[in-house]
Amino acid sequence: MIENKFQKILSKTIANIILIVVALSCLIPFVIIISASFTSEGEIIKHGYGMFPRGFTLDAYKMVMHSSGELLDAYAVTIYTTVVGSLLSVLMTIMAAYPLSRKDYKWQRIFNFYFYFTMLFSGGAVPSYILISNYLNLKNNILVLILPLMFNVWNTFLLRTYFQQIPSAMWEAAEIDGAGQFKILFQIIVPMSVTGVATILLFVMLAYWNEWYLCLMYMSNEKVITLQFYLSRVLSEIEDTVNNRSGTIAMNMDVSNLPNETARMAMCVLAAGPMMFVFMFFQKYFTKGLNVGSVKG
């Protein structure tokens, strides 16, 4: 018995140690980036990147803020697409998930399959590109950063599982009282599924905030680009000049103005930071919210 207890404590300790290592490996990169953004450029060149800021300075942030109106433009675009896109997207997801969760809805099975099939089969990148740029003519239109991400089948099915857990007596009673479906959805179902809706909202916001792919494909307009894409362009411009490749993009940029190592990291913090705050805010719903989602059709 004593040996058994000892074994239990030992395995618990080992589990804790391994989990701490894994958790630290997820945390330390953040520390590196943040501390590099506060370190002076000379220290980085002399000692390299490190865990703690040496020679604390705000130079990198000052430089990023002063040198580029582009950064502010990118912020404006990203905030716009994130706010407008997420609100519309969550509304659409809620309205889709509710009928799909109702077993007594006449076309429930057909539409469930209609959505489910797209998770298994898709046209792929080339046809989507041709559709959006040649037939929908959305190239260089800010809508192209919003519309393709607006509906996500996975999120809808996650929310559907939430709605299914609400006892059917809830909406049955409301129906007898003569409430319409919209009223039932927004006054009974949604308030009872705050966790689920919050989880979806977080996912959708994340998708819009971290958007760069659509920008890369459809936006040649320099003024209207997302934050992440701006970040990627800065990185590739630096790489291009460093590697002395004769890229056309690099030509447009004044080499002396290139953000240096620390400024890059400062930009990184500015680009990822807001999402981290959002995460902390949503955190209490989040880990609970994900457990429900089953993908089985």
Q: Which stretch binds another protein (CB under 8 A): 62-70, 109-117, 160-168, 188-196?
A: 109-117
Contact between 199 and 285 (Cβ < 8 Å): yes
Determine the interface stretch with another protein among 58-66, 79-87, 119-127, 158-166 (rule: CB under 8 A).
Answer: 119-127
Give the number of other CB atoms < 10 A from CB of residue 98: 23
The answer to whether the CB of 193 falls within 8 A of the CB of 159 is yes
| Window 236 to 295, contacts with another protein (CB under 8 A) | 236, 239, 261, 264-265, 268, 271-272, 275-276, 279, 283, 286-287, 290-293, 295
Q: Which is nearer to another protein, 40 or 232 (CB)?
A: 232
Q: Which of 123, 96, 124 is nearest to 112 (CA)?
A: 96
What is the DSSP secondary structure assignment for residue 107, as one 8-state letter?
Answer: T
CA distance 228 to 145: 12
Among 1, 66, 69, 124, binds another protein (CB under 8 A): 124
Nearer to another protein, 224 or 226 (CB): 226
- Residues 251 and 222: beta-carbon distance below 8 Å: no
The alpha helices in the chain, defined as continuous H runs, are: 2-38, 41-47, 59-67, 69-101, 108-120, 125-130, 153-164, 168-176, 181-184, 190-192, 194-209, 213-218, 227-242, 248-251, 261-290
**Cα 81 from Cα 61, distance rounded (Å):** 25
Q: Is 136 exposed, middle or buried (0-12, 13-18, 19+ CB in 10 A)?
A: middle
- Using the rule CB under 8 A, is 69 a contact of another protein? no
**Given the rule CB under 8 A, which of 69-77, 104-112, 160-168, 188-196 is the region that contacts another protein?**
104-112
Considering only the stretches 53-61, 69-77, 116-124, 160-168, report the one whose residues sit in contact with another protein under the rule CB under 8 A: 116-124
Q: Which positions from 199 through 238 interact with another protein, judged by CB under 8 A?
A: 206, 210, 212-213, 216-217, 228-229, 231-232, 235-236
Q: Is 131 near another protein (CB under 8 A)? A: yes
Candidates 67-75, 126-134, 188-196, 251-259 — which segment interacts with another protein by CB under 8 A? Answer: 126-134
- 192 vs 235, beta carbon nearer another protein: 235
Q: Which residue has the tokens 């459809």?
A: 218
Q: How many residues in the shown chain lie near another protein by CB under 8 A?
A: 101
Does position 137 interact with another protein (CB under 8 A)? The reply is: no
| Residues 147-166 interacting with another protein (rule: CB under 8 A) | 147-148, 150-151, 153, 156
**Are 229 and 212 in contact, with CB atoms under 8 Å apart?**
yes
Single residue of 114, 222, 249, 255 touching another protein by CB under 8 A: 114
Q: Smallest distance, Å, CB 72 to another protein?
A: 18
- Per CB under 8 A, the segment of 61-69, 177-185, 188-196, 250-258 that binds another protein is 177-185
180 binds another protein, rule: CB under 8 A: yes
Q: Which is nearer to another protein, 224 or 268 (CB)?
A: 268
Write the DSSP string, 144-158.
GGTGGGS--HHHHHH
Kind and range of the H or E run holding 294: none
Chain residues 22-61 in contact with another protein, contact rule CB under 8 A: 22-27, 29-30, 32-33, 36, 44-45, 47-50
